[in-house]
Amino acid sequence: MTAEALDIQAFLNQSKGELLIDVRAPVEFFKGHITNAINVPLFEDSERAEIGTLYKQQGKDTAVNRGLEIVSPKMVGFVNEVKALTKNKKVFVYCFRGGMRSNSFAWLMNTSGLNAHILHGGYKAFRNHVLEYFEQDKKLILLGGNTGSGKTDVLKQLAISEFQVVDLEGIANHKGSAFGSINEQKQNPQQVFENTLFQAFKMMNEELPILLEDESQSIGYNKIPHGLWLQMKKATIIKLNIPFEVRVQKLVLDYTTFDINALKACVVKISQQLGTLNTKLCLQHLDEGHLADVARLSLLYYDKAYNYNYDKNKEQQIIPIESDTTDAEINAQKVTQVLKTIY
Mean pLDDT of the chain: 92
Predicted confidence band of residue 274 (pLDDT cuts 50, 70, 90): confident
Q: What is the mean pLDDT of residues 199-218?
A: 94
Which of 95, 114, 210, 251 is flagged as catalytic? 95
* pLDDT for residue 1: 65
* pLDDT for residue 319: 94
Q: Which residue has the higher pLDDT, 31 or 273?
A: 31
Q: What is the mean pLDDT of residues 202-215?
A: 94
Asked about 282 being catalytic, the answer comes back as no
Torsion of CA 56, 61, 66, 69, to 10 degrees: 170
* pLDDT for residue 271: 85
Q: Is the pLDDT of residue 145 over 80?
A: yes
Q: What is the mean pLDDT of residues 59-80?
A: 92
What CATH number does domain 137-342 carry, 3.40.1400.10, 3.20.20.210, 3.40.50.300, 3.40.50.720? Answer: 3.40.50.300
Predicted confidence band of residue 338 (pLDDT cuts 50, 70, 90): very high
Q: Which residue has the higher pLDDT, 258 or 66?
A: 66
User: Residues 196, 131: contact at Cβ < 8 Å?
Assistant: no
CA atoms of 69 and 164, how far apart (whole Å): 51
Q: Is the pLDDT of residue 174 over 80?
A: yes
The backbone torsions φ and ψ at residue 149, rounded to the nearest 5 degrees and listed phi first, read: -80, -10
Beta-bridge mates of residue 140: 210
Amino acid residing at 145:
G
* pLDDT for residue 275: 86
* pLDDT for residue 162: 84
Report the residue count for the chain: 343
Q: Is the pLDDT of residue 176 over 80?
A: no
Q: Is the pLDDT of residue 204 over 80?
A: yes
In the chain, where are the structural domains located? 4-130, 137-342
Beta-bridge mates of residue 118: 5, 93
Q: What is the mean pLDDT of residues 218-223?
A: 93
List, in order, residues 6 or more apart from 230 with CB less than 8 Å away: none
CA atoms of 181 and 199, how far apart (whole Å): 23
DSSP string, 182-210: TTSPPPPPHHHHHHHHHHHHHTS-TTS-E
- How many other CB atoms are found less than 10 A from the CB of residue 233? 14
Nearest to 46 by CA among 77, 72, 63, 25: 25
Q: Is the pLDDT of residue 320 over 90?
A: yes
| 4-130: CATH number | 3.40.250.10
Q: What is the mean pLDDT of residues 141-163?
A: 94
Angle ∠(218,140,185) on CA atoms, nearest 5: 35
Amino acid residing at 57:
Q
State how far the alpha carbon of 211 is from the alpha carbons of 12, 216, 225, 233, in Å: 25, 15, 16, 14
